[in-house]
Structure 1
Amino acid sequence: MASDAAGIRRFVADTREPRGWVTPRTDLVTALLGIWFGIGLMIDAWAHSNLTELETFFTPWHAVFYSGFTVVSGWIIWQVWRNVRAGRQGLAAVPTGYLAGLVAIPAFAAFGLADMLWHTLLGIETTIDIFFSPSHLGLVVTMTLIITTPLRSAWRAPDVGARPPLGRLLPALVGLAFATTLVSLFLSYGDALQFRPQAIVQAFSLAGDPAATPPGTGPRPVAVSADRVAASMVVTNVIMLSPVLLLARRWLLPFGSVTVMYTIMALMPGAQTAFRNLPILLSFVAAGFAGDLLIRRLRPSGERRAAYWAFAGLSAFITWSLYLGIASATGGGLPGVPELWTGAPIVAGLIGLALGALFLPDAVTARPLPPGQAVTGRA
């Protein structure tokens, strides 16, 4: 027993070597396996939103979800084990950016076990209560840490400059976008992407029902009130714009970045509604393309505060103008209350501007990496 304990101590003892980075290809594989993980959750969200009778934890969609967790976790652990075999120990064996994901793996497994016990004892949630289950909240937090591993890896990687190409930044974009879908899933009761065009037009014509069922909790379209749609637009605006502003503060984003992120972000509400609201989802893909055009024109960055603020405000204004414009074009015409459909994009733009000011209150200057962190390494 004593010899075993001594062996374990030697194994985990930190060799105090500088932690290295994995290769871009390794980050790409991590991101691709994270897609498997994320798609599994979307299938599960579809089932909870569209199937009325769920009586067991052991379902095909749970199999896809937890198999995704298994493969991405195995891949992350393998990166650490490769370094251990090369002679590194302790934290020195964990690639930069991979520590939080590594720690989240056993935590996720524990919450998964708790979720199985919860469903066995208390049943399967099918309405808004699914977003407040303690086991589900634990799963979404730990899952976020796992799938954002490529983002943390790229954040200070020495080969990622201030203007990275899209291919180099893609794993980080994918990881952060899928993490954003987790947030949107657990705030589905305030998700504007789940409304159909007709419901939006009716709501902003004061024809909605204030007591309507939350979107995404059943297969039928329902009427909604104007204040419900307006509040959901605010919530969704903050959820979807914030990760873009985070990245724009760090890098001058390559063309296509926002389109990639918004396309991925639209998948979760699409899965929850079985893509019955396709025009609204496509409006966000178009908004992502518009955001890329704005970045090319304004070149927002942490060093260009005015351009950064302008991008934050204008991108939000354009996004929600497209949202209402496409809803009107496919949902029966302009809403009946001009103040609502003209003022809502302005409110969104002002919120975007406020977010820009919060993310970047003062312009920042580029700083070189500390000597101890400017070390590349194979993992």
Structure 2
Amino acid sequence: MGTTSERPRATRTDDAVTALVSLWLIAGLLLDAWAHSNRPGLETFFTPWHAVFYSGFAATAGWVALLVWRQWRAGRRGLAAVPLGYGPTLLALVVFALSGVADMVWHTVFGIEESIDILFSPSHLGLAISMAVIVTTPVRSVWRDPAPGTLARLWPALLGTGLAIAEVMVFLEYGNALLLRATWIVTGFSETTNNSATQIAVRMLVTNAVLLLPLLFLARRWGLPPGAATLCTVPLLILSGAETGGTNWSTLFSMLIAAVGVDLLALALRPSADRPRAYWLFATLAPLFTWSLYLGVASAAVGRLPAIVELWTGAPVVAAAVGLALGALMLPGGPVLDPAAPRS
């Protein structure tokens, strides 16, 4: 059998399985994050949470190896046996494995982290970076198809994006506004004698950027099919609920309703690279609605508005202004070139 040099394309089913085994991997990460937040005194690397985490990695690595092996059997050799979009995944799997070994050695030598130092451990950062590449594999796989996306075609990419958002926010826990209870939000925006108001405002802006940028990225390439914002947000809701034991239920509820509202906004505006004004308007209104609802539900749950009017009225406007700036950076105007199109 002769060899072929043309890179194969993964099928929709292939990408769907990739997204699902990545879900296994991230589920292990969420369990580990829950354990570190709710089980103080962990003294060993060998825990049930790590078992789920690293078995998810093994399943993901095995699945990607199977895809390459299928192409090898078909006669392709070298890089030609690797489906488009899966090349960085192979490299990330190697980095993940090395970081996992480094993490075991790190814990053996320095012990188990129990505070914010978890988020800055070099071995953990190696795991984080490689995981982000792994879970976004379906996005790269479908990238060369610029046709307007449907939920049926894009759901593996959307799920991968949502898993990446949750994974990033694991390591930006100190900037996650979804971890805050309603009482903390209202009380924090009611006085400025300490840093509570500043911390809440910063958390809102960090979370705003992490949630909005992927949606703008997807909208620029394919548009946003119905349900895209919700599918991208749910993994972060699950993460935030796990880390707090569900004590922030009103905050999670507000963000779920906000995600549905953002989906309806996208349906009405149809933001895309070919509709820049609609794109910029979406980038502005989505955070304005999201963070107005966030503060409104917190106030309703507590039974009163924050005492400082400027904070609870101005914070959503600042988030909207940041959204507009991000939209302008992502789509400054003019035609967007198709990276899959031939170059002269």
Counterpart check, 1:96 vs 2:81: no
TM-score, structure 1 normalization:
0.87
User: Is it true that 1:260 corresponds to 2:223 in the alignment?
Assistant: no
Q: Is it true that 1:203 corresponds to 2:188 in the alignment?
A: yes
Distance 2:236 2:152 in 1: 19
**8 A contact 1:250–1:302 mirrored in 2:** yes
Aligned partners of 1:173, 1:52: CA distance in 2, in Å?
34
Whether the aligned pair in 1 keeps the contact of 2:215 and 2:224 (CA below 8 Å) is no
Match of 2:307, as an amino acid? Answer: G
Does residue 1:78 correspond to 2:71, yes or no? no
The 3-state SS of whatever aligns with 1:302 is: coil
Amino acid at match of 1:195: L
Q: 1:263–1:284: 8 Å Cα contact kept in structure 2?
A: no
1:51 counterpart letter in structure 2: R
Per-residue deviation, residues 141-199 of structure 1 (Å, max 9, x unmatched): 11111111111101114xxx532220110000011111111211111111111110000
Q: Percent identity?
A: 52
Question: Could you tell me how far apart the structure 2 residues matched to 1:237 and 1:371 are?
Answer: 36
User: Which whole-Å CA distance do the structure 1 matches of 2:337 and 2:140 have between them?
Assistant: 18
Residue equivalent to 2:29: 41
Query: 2: distance between equivalents of 1:370 and 1:341?
Result: 47
Pairing partner for 2:13 from 25, 29, 46: 25
Residue in structure 2 matched with residue 177 of structure 1 by the alignment: 162
Q: Which has the higher contact order (CA 8 A, sep 6+)?
A: 1
Relative to structure 1, is the Cα distance of residues 82 and 320 closer, same or farther in structure 2, using a 3 angstrom cutoff?
Answer: same
Confirm or deny: 8 A CA contact 2:208 2:319 kept in the other structure: yes
Between the aligned partners of 1:120 and 1:271, the Cα distance in structure 2 is 27
1:191 partner letter: N
For the aligned residues, what is the CA RMSD? 1.7
Aligned equivalent of 1:142, options 130, 134, 152? 130
For 2:271, the equivalent position in structure 1 comes to 300
Is 1:151–2:139 an aligned residue pair?
yes
SS of alignment partner, residue 334 of structure 2: coil
Instruction: Say yes or no: does 1:310 pair with 2:281.
Output: yes
1:345 aligns with 2:316: yes
The whole-number CA distance in structure 1 between the counterparts of 2:150 and 2:186 is 40
* Cα distance, 1:331 vs structure 2: 2.2
Q: How many residues align?
A: 342
Q: In structure 1, the residue corresponding to 2:99 is in which secondary structure?
A: helix
Query: CA shift at 1:370, angstroms?
Result: 3.7
Say whether the 8 Å CA contact 2:226–2:263 is kept in structure 1. Answer: yes
Give the residue type in structure 2 aligned to 1:236: T
Match of 1:220 in 2: none
Instruction: Give the AA of the match of 1:263.
Output: V
The whole-number CA distance in structure 2 between the counterparts of 1:254 and 1:25 is 19
Q: Measure, in 2, the Cα distance between the counterparts of 1:288 and 1:366.
A: 29
**TM (normalized to structure 2)?**
0.96
> Which residue pairs with 1:10 in the alignment?
none
Aligned-pair CA distance for 1:365? 4.5
Displaced runs of 4+ in structure 1, greater than 6 A? none
Q: Which runs of 5+ in 2 are unaligned?
A: none
Cα distance in 2 for partners of 1:252, 1:363 equals: 17
Amino acid aligned to 2:49: W
* Deviations 1:221-241 (CA, angstroms, capped at 9, x unpaired): xxxx11110111111111111
2: distance between equivalents of 1:188 and 1:367?
35
Deviations 1:111-152 (A, max 9, x none): 000000000110000100000000000001111111111111
Moved more, 196-205 or 286-295: 286-295
Distance 1:343 1:188 in 2: 24
- 1:266 alignment partner, SS class: helix
Counterpart residue identity of residue 77, structure 2 = Q
Q: Is the 8 A contact 1:324 1:341 kept in 2?
A: yes
1:69 matched to 2:40: no
State which structure, 1 or 2, has the greater radius of gyration over its C-alpha atoms.
1
Structure 1: which amino acid aligns with 2:310?
Answer: E
Query: Structure 2 CA distance, aligned partners of 1:368 and 1:55?
Result: 49
Q: Deviations over 1:329-374 (max 9, x none)?
A: 11231111111111111011001000000111113256484469xx
Pair 1:228-2:216 in alignment: no
